[in-house]
């Protein structure tokens, strides 16, 4: 397990400007979600960001493909699962993990932001992990961009009403969560977050 972390750090060394993109493993190449992942990743790629996904099918594949379309580095952090699963063909650099938690460290450590498209448990797990890290200030100026207003609006509203308004989270815990359908807006949000991170480190 320690070896898995070490290997991840070694494989990803040098990745300094990247975004982790999450989304359903089940939405095929003909779906709007796949196209959305591709468009967002392509826009991020043109803005100079590498794209990190889970390396699987669906939205992950769309995002890796979009990164390639933009000639950006396309990374897949693949996971050992009970059913055999191929790394999608648009990954340039694959890093394999047996443990979900070791893999999660990499999604955060090497990314300037999280972008989440529609998905199931896996996507929600990744989203809420980021929100927990933001809330506890383990990560700072780290934007979370939800892509797909129709899909995400209900959850976001529920978080505002049931969690924020009821005092179960702080009012500012949702400040870094953005909702959009526009790839260019995703880029703007990510760039601003990245600049704020560099400024915090005294690197801007
Ligand atoms: C069809 C199927 C079950 C494929 C599983 N293959 C997978 N390969 C890589 N990452 C995955 C896989 N399943 C879930 N994940 C992780 O969880 C998210 C997708 O899960 P879900 O479909 O939203 O819940 C992805 O962002 C990814 O990081």
Domains of the chain (ranges; CATH) run 2-200 (3.40.50.450)
25 touches ligand 1 (CB under 6 Å):
yes
* pLDDT given for residue 85 in this prediction: 76
Ligand 1 centroid vs 65 CA: distance in angstroms?
16
Relative to the CA of 120, which ligand 1 atom is closest?
A: 23
54 touches ligand 1 (CB under 6 Å):
yes
* pLDDT given for residue 21 in this prediction: 98
* pLDDT given for residue 84 in this prediction: 64
* pLDDT given for residue 174 in this prediction: 93
75 touches ligand 1 (CB under 6 Å):
no
Ligand 1 centroid vs 74 CA: distance in angstroms?
17
Radius of gyration of the chain measured on its C-alpha atoms:
16
Contact criterion met (CB below 8 Å) for 117 and 36: yes
Sign of the torsion angle spanned by Cα atoms 80, 85, 87, 90: negative
Residue listed under structure tokens 């379309």: 69
126 touches ligand 1 (CB under 6 Å):
yes
Give me the residues of the chain with pLDDT under 50, please. Answer: none
* pLDDT given for residue 102 in this prediction: 93
Ligand 1 centroid vs 75 CA: distance in angstroms?
15
Ligand 1 centroid vs 23 CA: distance in angstroms?
7
126-181 confidence digits (pLDDT tens): 999 999 999 998 888 999 999 999 999 999 999 999 999 999 999 999 988 999 99
* pTM for the predicted model, two decimal places: 0.95
CA-nearest of 111, 129, 127 to 67 is 111
* pLDDT given for residue 202 in this prediction: 83
Testing ligand 1's pocket by substitution, the residue of 8, 60, 75 carrying the most ligand atoms inside 8 A of its CB is 60
SS (H, E, C) 24-40: CCCCCCCCHHHHHHHHH
Give the integer Cα–Cα distance in Å for 134 and 141. Answer: 8
Ligand 1 centroid vs 37 CA: distance in angstroms?
14
């Amino acid at each position: 397990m320690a070896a898995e972390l070490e290997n991840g750090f070694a494989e990803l060394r040098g990745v300094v400007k990247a975004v982790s993109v999450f989304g359903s493993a089940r939405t095929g190449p003909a779906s709007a979600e796949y196209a959305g992942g591709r468009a967002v990743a392509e826009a991020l790629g043109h803005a100079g960001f590498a794209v990190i996904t889970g390396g699987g099918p669906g939205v992950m594949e769309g995002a890796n493909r979009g990164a390639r379309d933009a000639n950006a580095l396309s990374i897949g952090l693949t996971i050992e699962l009970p059913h055999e699963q191929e790394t999608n063909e648009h990954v340039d650099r694959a890093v394999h993990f047996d443990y979900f938690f070791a893999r999660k460290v990499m999604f955060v450590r090497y990314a300037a932001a999280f972008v989440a498209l529609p998905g199931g448990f896996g996507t929600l797990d990744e989203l809420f992990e980021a929100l927990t890290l933001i809330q506890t200030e383990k990560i700072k100026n780290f934007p979370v961009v939800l892509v797909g207003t129709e899909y995400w609006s209900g959850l976001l509203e529920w978080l505002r009403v049931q969690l924020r308004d009821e005092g179960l989270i702080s009012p500012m815990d949702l400040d870094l969560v953005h909702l959009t359908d526009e790839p260019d807006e995703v880029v703007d949000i990510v760039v601003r977050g990245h600049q704020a991170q560099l400024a915090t480190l005294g690197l801007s």
